[in-house]
Structure 1
Amino acid sequence: MTKRSRVHQSTPENERAILEAALTLAVTAGYEGTTMAEVARLSGLPTGSVYWHFNNKEQLFAELIEYCFGKWKEDHTGPTNRDLLRRSIAGSAGGSTDPENKAEAFWILALLFALEKRLADNAARKKYLDVRRQMFELMVQRVEPQIPGSVLAADPDFGRKMVVLGRALTDGFYIAASAGDDIDFMEFADLSASAVEALIARRAAMAEGEVEK
C-alpha cells in the first residue's frame, strides 16, 4: 500500500475546509460540475492535499453526504410531530433554494442520486441510500412516541407509515422548491401537519371504538 506523504497534514480544519468547499460547489455546479481541482482552489489547499484526504470525487461526495447528515441530525428535532414536519417542509424543502442554506440545498442533489440508476455502483449514491435509510429510522424513533398507544396496538407499523407519508410530502416539496414553484412553504407545512394530525386522531378514535372504520 502506498504511504501518504507527510507533506499534507490531516487536520479537522483542513477536512472541514475541503467539505465546505465541495458543498458550495455541489449546490451550484452539481455532481458532474464539481471537480477536485476546483474544490482545492475554493478551499485554499493544494490539490494534492484534497486527494490526500479523499481518493476521488466519489469518496469526497460520500463523506460530504455523511457531513450533511450530521447537520441534519442536529437540526431535525422538535417536541411535536408538527414541529418535525414544519422543519422538514418549511425549513428543509422550503429553505433549499436559499444560497446561504447550503446544507439543505445539497439534499436536492443527494435526492437525485437515488434517481440516477446509471450511478448504481457510485460510492456517493450508495452512501446517500444508506443515509436515507438511517434518516427514516431516526424519524420513526421521533414520531412513534407521539402516536397514541391504542393506534400502535391496532397497527404496529402506523408510525412507520406516517414517516413514509411525511417523507413523500417533503420530497415533493423539495421538487417544488427546485422547480421554483411560488408557494408559501410554511403554510403548506402547517396544512400537511394538520392533515397528519387529523389522520392520527381518526385512527385513535377508531381504535377506541368511537367511530366506525
Structure 2
Amino acid sequence: MSKDKILTEALSLFASRGYEGATLSELASRVGMKKASIYSHYKNKEEIFWAVIDCAYQEEIAKLSTGMKEVQHLAFRERLHNMMDQHVHFYKENDENANLWRRMTLFPPQDFKEGLKAKLLEYEQQFNEMLEQDLDRAIQSGEIREVNRDTGLAMINCILDGLFVEYSYYDDEEFNKRVEAVKVMTWRAFLPAGKEAE
C-alpha cells in the first residue's frame, strides 16, 4: 500500500513541478512517512520517476486499447474519428497523467530526454499496431482507398501530434473548429477514388 501511495503522490509532484522541482522530502511528507522510509521501497528519486512514467504509460495504452475495441463494430470513418476524439479528450484532461505527459513531452528533464523519447516511441509503436489492424480491415472492406500503411500511419500520427501542440495555443472554440476540420480532411485522404466526402 505504501508503494502505491508513493507512486500516486510522486505522480502529482512530477506533473506539477517536474522532475527537478520535486523533492523526496516533500514526497515523504505527502505520503506520511520519513524520507528514509522511502528508500525501503525505491533506491532513489530516479527510480520513482521511471516507475511513475511506466504506470502512466501503461494506463494510457490500456485506455486507448479499450476505447478502440469498444467501437470496432462501427464503420472506419467513425472509428477513426473516435480515436481522434480519444486523443483530443486526453489533451484537454486536467488530470495528473495528462499533465505529466504534457510536461515530459514539451519540457523533458535533460538527463532523461532520450529515455522519455524511447517511451513515447514505444507508445507510438503500440498505437500503430492497433491502428494497422483498422487500416487493413477498412482497405479489405473497400471503405477506404488502398493506401500505403506506413504513409497512412505517419499521417495520422502527425495530425495527432499537431493537434497536441495546437491545443497549447488556442481556446476551446477555435481548437474544436480545427479538430473538426482535420477530421474532414483526413477522411477525404482515405476516401476511395470517385467517392465524395459528405
TM-score, normalised relative to structure 2: 0.77
Q: Deviations over 1:45-65 (max 9, x none)?
A: 321222232222222111111
Q: Structure 1 residue aligned with 2:91, among 90, 93, 106?
A: 93
Corresponding residue number in structure 1 for 2:81:
82
Aligned in 2, Cα 1:175/1:59: closer, same or farther, shift over 3 Å? Answer: farther
**Alignment RMSD, CA only?**
2.5
Q: Structure 2 residue aligned with 1:50, among 34, 38, 60?
A: 38
Aligned in 2, Cα 1:48/1:135: closer, same or farther, shift over 3 Å? Answer: same
CA contact (8 A) 1:36 1:47 kept: yes
Alignment-mate amino acid for residue 167 of structure 1? L
Equivalent runs, 1:11-50 vs 2, <5 Å: 13-50=1-38
Alignment-mate amino acid for residue 104 of structure 1? A
Shift of 1:18: 0.7
Gaps in structure 2 of 5+ consecutive residues: 72-78
Matched residues in 1 for 2:139 and 2:53: separation?
A: 35
Shift of 1:153: 5.2
CA contact (8 A) 1:37 1:47 kept: yes
Q: Deviations over 1:31-88 (max 9, x none)?
A: 2210111111112232122223222222211111101012101222322121111111
Alignment-mate amino acid for residue 168 of structure 1? D
Gaps in structure 1 of 5+ consecutive residues: 1-12
Matched residues in 2 for 1:191 and 1:167: separation?
A: 13
Matched residues in 1 for 2:122 and 2:156: separation?
A: 12
Corresponding residue number in structure 1 for 2:190:
200
TM-score, normalised relative to structure 1: 0.72
Aligned in 2, Cα 1:48/1:126: closer, same or farther, shift over 3 Å? Answer: farther
CA contact (8 A) 1:25 1:39 kept: yes
Mean Cα deviation higher: 166-175 or 57-66: 166-175
Equivalent runs, 1:96-107 vs 2, <5 Å: 98=94, 101-107=95-101
Corresponding residue number in structure 2 for 1:6:
none
Q: Structure 1 residue aligned with 2:171, among 135, 158, 182?
A: 182
**Partner secondary structure for residue 157 of structure 1:** helix
Corresponding residue number in structure 1 for 2:127:
139
Shift of 1:193: 2.4
**Partner secondary structure for residue 175 of structure 1:** coil
CA contact (8 A) 1:21 1:43 kept: yes
Alignment-mate amino acid for residue 199 of structure 1? A
CA contact (8 A) 1:152 1:159 kept: no
Matched residues in 2 for 1:58 and 1:125: separation?
A: 13
